[in-house]
Every structure is written in C-alpha cells, then in structure tokens.
Structure 1
Amino acid sequence: MRDTRESRLLLVLLIAIAFALITVDIRGGDESPVEGARRAAATFFGPVEDGVASAVNPVGNVIGAIRDSGARHDRISVLQQENAALKQRLGSDDRNRNRVRELDAMLAKAGAGQYGIKGAEVIAIGAAQGFSWTITIDIGANDGIKRDMTVLNGEGLVGRVTTVGPHTATVLLANDPDFTVGTRMEKTDELGFATGQGDRPLSVQLLNGKSRVKKGDRLVTFGSSRDKPFVPGVPVGEVVRVDPSGGDLTRTIYVRPFVGFTKLDLVGVVVVAPREDPRDTVLPPKSKPVPTPTVTVTVSPSPDTGADANADANADANADAGANDAATGTDQDDDLE
C-alpha cells in the first residue's frame, strides 16, 4: 500500500477504534460488548493452543524438572534422614534386647540370693568424684538409697554406694585400689580379703596360709555386720593364680572378677538384705569341661611288606640251616678222628 493521505487516515481511524474498544472492555467487565468476541476467539483458537502446548510440553517438563530439582534434593535428604532414623531405631532395639537380658540376669541373681534390690542405670563413669574407679547411678536418697549399700548386677559384685544425693548416687567399684571386701571360698569356706587392682585381677589375702586353693575356685562375699556395706553370698570372681605360701601366715591368690567393670549399664542396689546367708546358691553353675577328642591310628602292613618279611624270615632260616649243617660236619670229623 502506498503512503497516501487516505491510508494514513485509515490507520488513525483503526487506532482510535482500538483504544475505544479497550476502554469499553475495561469499564464493562463481564458485560463487556467484546466478551462474546473473546469467547468466540477462545473457541476457535483453543484447539490450536492445545496442539502447540503438546508440542512444547516436553521442553516445559524439562524446565519444570530443573525448577523442581531443589525440592527433589530436599526430598532425598528427608528420605536419607528417615533411613538413618530407622537404622538408629533398629540399633536401639538391639540395645533394648541386651538390656532386657541384663535385667533378667540381675533379677535372677536377686531372686537366688533373696536380695531386695532397686534397679538403676549408669549415667556416668570416671574419676570426676575423686575416685579412680566409680560410676554414677540415676537413683538417690529420694529413692531410699543410703551410703554403704551393696551394688550388684547379673554377673556379681559391682561395688558399694559411697556418696548419695537426692536423685543420684556414686558407687565405688570393686576393682578400685581403695576397695576391700571380705570373701569366702566356695565349698572350703576359707576366708580372706579382696582388694581391687584396677584392670588387673583382684588380690585376695587368705587368712589360712596352708589353705588348699587351685585355679578355677570361686569366691563370694562373706558379708558385713548388719549387712553393711556388704550382704553375704554375692559372687566375686574366679581364681586365676595362686602364689606359694612359703610358710607365711596368709596366702595370696588372684581372682578375675565376674563383673566387666568397663561395660556397666544396669545395676541393682540391695535395699533389703536376705534373711539367711545364701552361701553358694547365687554362684552360676560350673561349666563342664569339654573332653579333648583322642585319635587312634591303626597301621596295617601292606602285601609288599609281608612279602619282604617272609623273605627275610626264609633267609634267616636258610642261614640257620647252613650253620647247623656246618656244625654237624664238624662233629662228624671229630668222631672220625
């Protein structure tokens, strides 16, 4: 189209009409005169837009995936945390099972000795209280705990209560160098005093220097006056070495404690002593030694060996026969002379 006066007037007219329609549409809202035209255009162009959208959707999906990658990363992190929590829960279940076994063993010990106990959990271990080998338990004076009470677990003697607070208490362990307890030998009733030696076996001084002791013998607590600080019959340990007496009035033996002091978790404080001395009934049954299998080897002679033996026997017989013949000939010569 050539740039003429008529074309410029037409362009100005179309622009004016467009502005007028825009103004009417804005003011009219839903009642706008152009609403019908808009609907008609949507009806006509809708399928076209769907087709274009279908063609463009793969690209849009990629863009959306990139946009959502942060959210997916967060989701992965959440799943990883849930997985870690699940593993931790499973681990705690294993720990709970171990604690149930510990509790059952401790209750069995208390039942065998007729000890009235209060269960406690070890919440601290170390020398913070001024001792070398101590633990802190989560019960105290408010729970009826007093100084110089015996502490045990499912394996045997743990120690004695030394300091008591309202909600916690300190226990001096039996392997502490400042710890001493009266002991009694199983069956023989030989008396002694056991002293802790840290991570080494307990040192026990037997009062009878001529007492017969051997490796594997076991000891229990002798008990104290009015059952404080020790009740009788609590398993202490097993003899691992015996020093020769050398004519001394006392005899030293070394005892491996039944309790593992580095892995304490649940313990029981004896709040009610037994009416009678349980003697050796709290000791676990002795394990029977496993017999060592013996192997008997039987050697059968081979046929070749038998043949060789026969050949040697025949050779010996022939030699003896020759010797006899020679002797006979000599005798005949003597007779002839």
Structure 2
Amino acid sequence: MRDTRESRLLLVLLIAIAFALITVDIRGGEDSPVDGARRGAAAVFGPVEDGVSSAVDPVGNAVGAVKDSGASEDRIADLERENAALKAKLGSDDRNRSRVRQLDGMLKKAGAGQYGIKGAEVIGIGAAQGFSWTVTIDAGSGDGIKRDMTVLNADGLVGRVTTVGPGTSTVLLANDPDFTVGTRLEKSDELGFASGGGNGPMRVQLLNSKAKVKKGDRMVTFGSQGDKPFVPGVPVGRITRVDPSGGDLTRTVYVEPYAGFSRLDVVGVVVTAPRTDPRDTVLPDKPEAKPTPTVTVTATPGQDGDPDAPEGPNEPQEQGARDPARPVEPEQAGQPAEPAEQEQ
C-alpha cells in the first residue's frame, strides 16, 4: 500500500476502532459483546499456541534445570568445603600430636647430649635450591642461626646449615652425595667418614681396614674442630652391610640413617655445643632380642606316640635285643630268680 492521504486516514480509523473495542470489552466483562469473537480466535489460535508452548517448554525446563543445578552445585560445593575444613581440622590435630611427639623426642636427645638447640619447622624442600638434597627451615640469623651449625631431630643427624637469611635457612641433608661427616663406631671407637647416598644407605669409609664390624653396629658423629659444622655424639645410623676387606687401606660399610629425610617436619639447630663429648649416650635404646624358643623332645614308647599302647605283635626284634624301657629280669642278668614271698 502506497503512503497516501487515504491510507493514513484508514490507519487512524482502524486504530480508533481497536481502542473502542478494547474499551467496550473491558467495561462489558463476561457479558462483553466481543466475547464470542475472542472465543473464536482462541479456538483457531489455541492449537498453534499449544504447539509453540510444547516446543518451548523443554528449553525453559532446561534453563530451569541449569539454574537449579547451579544452586545444587553451589550447595554441594559448600558441603565439600565444610567437609574439607573438618578433615583439615582433624588432620591438623593429628599433625599437632605428631609434632608434639617429635619435639618431645628431640628435646630428650638434646638433654642427653647437653646440646643447646633452636627449634624450627621445615617449610620448603630442595626444588627451590637446585638439585641438592636440601630443605628450608623457618629460622634464620634473627634466631641466632649461623652457617655450619649441626641440625638434628628426634631420630638423629639431619644435616648442616649452609645458607642463612634473616628469617630462614637452608640445610644440606645428610643423604646428599656431597655431604660428608666424620663418624665414630659405638664401643670400638673406630673412625671413618660417611657420605650421603641419596635414597640409599650412607657409605662409610673406616680408616682401619681390619676393623671388626658387623651388621647392627651403630655410629655417631665424631665432631669437628670448634664444633663446626658438627658437634660430637649425634646418632648417625646403623650398619646394614659390610664389604669384605680386600687389602685396601680402608674398609667400606653401609649405614642406614636414623633420620627419615623424606618426612622431616620439626628439627633442631644446635646453637650451643656440649661441654664434653656425650659419646654414645644419645644413641637410642637397642631393641630387646627375642628369646630363642627351647625345643623339648619327649620319647614315648608304643605306637603312634601313645604311651599306653602295647608293642606291635608283628614287629620283628633282633635276637638278644630288649626294650630299653623294660626292666632287666634277673634271669637275663645271669642270676637265679628269688622265690616269691607267700602271702601270710
């Protein structure tokens, strides 16, 4: 339709009629004169609306499901966070108990060796310092820590301090291949030098190639001049293997360290050395040896071990042989039998 004056007048007229019908319909309510027309329109366009509604409803349901799912996921996430917090609290309690045990054991060792120690916590492991076996502790120069101080824990020797910062320090662990410490064998006092073996045992070169050693023998630190980097008497480990002596100037043994380097937590830095060498007093108590069971053999005559069972009739016996459990009769001994006493 072209935009002419007549078309504009027609459009205005249609709009006026539409407003008039709407007004009449509102005022008429249920008795509206256009109610029939409305019903007819509903009958015609109702199925179309229902089809469209059926097509749109799954989308709406999906949107609602997504909204509900989001709310459910938020609730699940909240529950998971609460559960994690409870587990962390329980784990923290277990960890605190473990730390108390470690600290108690370390203080007992320090007391036995008369070491003045500064407690610290391991807060980092070797990746931050390179490829060496090292850990970072939360104690530094502000805590009195200095380079080349001995580090121990409740089990034994941990390592030595190599780098010191204001609030942290780096400790070279005793299992590092570049680590070396002088050792002294328990009781025999044989001296040697132990080097770290990574995940394996420490390798110890005993200065005496003819030293008498065996599995289970224990070692402590020999100590350094001026007590740096090592104080004496700190438990190192026990011998697990002894290489045969081949005429070398030294003898090689392998030692399992007391300290577990993969589970370090609480450690102590020796800030004050003992006045005298504690020697073997810091070593842990040896486990009690289990008693060897005693085997008791009881000889019983008869068949199948039954002491009351008669001797088998078909068992052949050598001539002149006798049952060792049967008493010797006088006739067999070459003496005449005495007459039996008569009852009176």
Identify whether the pair has TM-score above 0.5, normalized to the shorter chain: yes
Q: Determine the structure 2 residue equivalent to 1:224.
A: 224
CA distance in 2, matches of 1:191, 1:283: 17
- Give the direction of change, closer, same or farther, for the CA distance of 1:219–1:309 in structure 2 (3 Å limit): farther
Cα distance, 1:253 vs structure 2: 0.8
Closer, same or farther: CA 306–235 of 1 in aligned 2, 3 Å: same
Any idea what the Cα deviations from partners look like across 1:75-126, whole Å, max 9, x if unmatched?
6654553333222211110111011101101111111111111111111112
Kindly provide the CA deviation profile for residues 49-85 of structure 1, in whole angstroms up to 9, marking residues without a partner as x. xxxxxxxxxxxxxxxxxxx999898666545533332
Give the root-mean-square deviation of aligned CA atoms. 2.6
Query: Following TM superposition, by how much is the alpha carbon of 1:311 offset from its aligned partner in structure 2, in angstroms?
Result: 5.4
Distance in structure 1 (CA, Å) of the matches to 2:243 and 2:128: 35
Runs (5+) with no aligned partner, structure 1: 1-14, 16-67, 318-337
> CA 1:309–1:185 in structure 2 vs 1: closer, same or farther (change >3 Å)?
farther
Per-residue deviation, 1:312: 2.8
Q: Could you tell me which residue of structure 2 aligns to residue 276 of structure 1?
A: 276
Q: Which residue of 2 aligns with 1:320?
A: none
Distance of 2:174 and 2:101 partners within structure 1: 23
C-alpha distance in 2 between matches for 1:70 and 1:192: 68
Kindly report which structure 2 residues correspond to 1:132-211, keeping only aligned pairs within 5 A, or say none. 132-211=132-211
Change in 2 beyond 3 A, CA 1:147/1:311: closer
SS at match of 1:197: coil
Confirm or deny: 8 A CA contact 1:201 1:254 kept in the other structure. Answer: yes
Which residue number corresponds to residue 308 of structure 1? Answer: 312
The answer on whether the counterparts of 1:131 and 1:172 sit within 8 Å (CA) in structure 2 is no
Between 304-313 and 112-121, report the one with greater CA deviation: 304-313
Aligned identity (percent) is: 72
CA distances 1:238-283 after superposition (whole Å, capped 9, x unpaired)? 0111112222221111111000111101111111111111111000
1:335 is aligned to none
Q: 1:314-333, aligned counterparts within 5 Å?
A: 316=319
Q: C-alpha deviations, 1:167-216, integer Å up to 9, x for none?
A: 11111111111000001111111111101111111111111111111111
Per-residue CA shift, 1:220-241, capped at 9, x if unaligned?
A: 0000011000000000000111
TM-score, structure 1 normalization: 0.68
- Provide structure 2 residue ranges, at least 5 long, that are not aligned to the other structure: 1-26, 28-67, 321-344
Q: Say which SS state the counterpart of residue 286 (structure 2) adopts.
A: coil
Q: Is the Cα–Cα contact under 8 Å of residues 140 and 146 in structure 1 kept in the other structure?
A: yes
Higher helix share: 1
Note the C-alpha offset of 1:219.
0.5
Partner of 1:236: 236
Q: What corresponds to 2:265 in structure 1?
A: 265
**Partner secondary structure for residue 200 of structure 1:** coil
- Corresponding residue for 2:246? 246
Q: TM-score, normalised by structure 2?
A: 0.67
Alignment partners' CA distance in 2, 1:77 and 1:253 = 56
